[in-house]
Amino acid sequence: MMPTYAYRAVDKEKSCDHCGSGFEIIQRMTEPALTSCPRCKNLISRVLFAPAVVIKGSPLAETDRKIKEYEKEGKWSHAAELADKEAEKTKREDLKTRALEDYKKAGYNFDKYDTDT
């Protein structure tokens, strides 16, 4: 499996839509970093991210990864349902909040169920 690297334009004024907002590319670790945008040829730089610590085989890490994957794909109801189920099991407040946000992004309207108004 080859790693995915993210790149972004050095000067947004001279960038195209591709490098201005940033893009990802799969490269071998032995390949040199790209220095110019493959589309507009303007100067780009590799975006560095803090390393993620994942305990291999951890169900929590795997669930979080799957929720992020659903969110990235725009599958908000899938992400919300998974976060909701995991929040019920683990009592994690951050997942409850995330589930509500994803349900809203999926188009669910919780305001109509509010009985305090």
| Domain positions in the chain | 4-44, 59-113
Q: What per-residue confidence (pLDDT) applies to 6? A: 92
DSSP the chain: -PPEEEEEES-GGG--HHHHS-EEEE--TTSPPP-B-TTT--BEEEEP-PPP---TT-HHHHHHHHHHHHHHTT-HHHHHHHHHHHHHHH--HHHHHHHHHHHHHTT---GGG----
117, pLDDT greater than 50: no
What would the mean pLDDT of 78-83 be, rounded to a whole number? 90
What would the mean pLDDT of 28-50 be, rounded to a whole number? 90
Percent above pLDDT 70 for the chain = 83
Distance CA 16, CA 112 (A): 43
Q: What's the predicted TM-score (pTM) here? A: 0.45
